[in-house]
Amino acid sequence: MTPFIIPFFIAHQGCPHQCVFCNQRAIAGRDDSAVTPSRIRAAISEQLAWPRLQGRPVQVAFYGGSFSCLERGVQLGYLQAVEPFLASGQVEMVRVSTRPDCLDRDAVVLLQDYGVGLVEVGVQSLHSEVLAQSERGHSVTQVEEAFALLHEVGMTVGGQLMVGLPGDSPSRALGSGRKLCALRPDLVRIYPTLVVTGSRLAAWYQMGSYQPWSLAKSVLVCVALKEFFDQAGVTVIRMGLQAARALEDNLVAGPYHPAFGEMVLSRQLFKKLRYILRQRCNPSLPCQLNLASRDRSLFTGIRNENLRRLQSLGLLENVDVFFNDHYPRFKMTLQEKQFLP
């Protein structure tokens, strides 16, 4: 069952500096920096009382900053506020996001001792030139060491990857994906780089020294990464930033679309459809294409883009499309009608 997550957004807390692309307050439109242990306790109690939880497992998340870079006393204050809910079983675990260079053994042991079960590591790129140009302030080796340590203690590990950072290219982004895969993440998020107000990237963009990737290019690279992670059995839990009014208000430039993840999935499905429909031996024979009902909107694509593409390639001639409630997502079969019962 999908867990219900109670998030605390600690924008930039713990960050040793601001990475060139980042302005957490602008992209999320919220900042719980004033959060205190007593407010954490109150917020969790309030959310646990909501009937909509309906038996779902509950997790508490600290996002938007570098949790393990916070002063030890601050980390303890936050984590101890969650402890009674972990002890009572009302909360199953805590998840945090942080930087790879803030994950030495002491830091990881502290997290584990206080119920953190999932650490999302801000990897962003595994190309040293991209990391340097984005002024991330850590190396590829530090990412590898952080993953090794988290795996060693049995933590669930997530990796956040960005495409289109300064110095990035499609081949570098795919190389980062391959290297991240080799680090065996349990889950991955992929974000296209956006230019937002208050970031250094916005100034570089205004000066003409940074050009964001187009939406089409970002989608295609993310499709390739998604296919790659799918083949490796790594779950991609998110592609593209959460659509938010604040993000749209603060967007200067870049490949933003409120349904970015849907665009990637839709394009990925299109590629599978094109492949399977091209396998027909005799396109003049009537066929039935079966797809999962839940993939109906992916099949048509945003503004019917997939449908138009398949039609213009002549791949839907003599093909009836059926949506099957029992098919899992992304499953598709093609049958010649003469062989149908």
Interface with ligand SF4 in residues 82-101 (CB under 6 A): 99
Q: Is 269 in the site for ligand SF4 (CB under 6 A)?
A: no
Residue spans of beta strands (DSSP E) within 164-214: 187-192, 195-196
CA 180 to chain centre: 13
Tokens of 168: 């990035």
Tokens of 172: 């570098």
Tokens of 45: 């109690």
Whose tokens are 């669930």? That residue is 156
Which range binds ligand SF4 by CB under 6 A, 18-26, 40-48, 106-114, 222-230? 18-26
Q: Is 159 in the site for ligand SF4 (CB under 6 A)?
A: no
**Residues whose CB falls within 8 Å of the CB of residue 49, separated by 6 or more in sequence, listed in order:** none
Q: Is 162 in the site for ligand SF4 (CB under 6 A)?
A: no
Among 9, 70, 75, 122, binds ligand SF4 (CB under 6 A): 122
Q: Is 22 in the site for ligand SF4 (CB under 6 A)?
A: yes
Whose tokens are 């009014």? That residue is 245
Give one DSSP letter per residue of 239-282, joined into a string: ESPPP-HHHHHHEEESS--TTHHHHHHHHHHHHHHHHHHHT-S-
Among 66, 75, 250, 266, binds ligand SF4 (CB under 6 A): 66
**Cβ nearer to ligand SF4, comparing 14 with 255:** 14
**Cβ nearer to ligand SF4, comparing 203 with 321:** 203
Among 3, 5, 7, 18, binds ligand SF4 (CB under 6 A): 18
Size, binding site for ligand SF4 by CB under 6 A: 10
Give the footprint of ligand SF4 on this chain (CB under 6 A).
12, 15, 18-19, 22, 24, 65-66, 99, 122
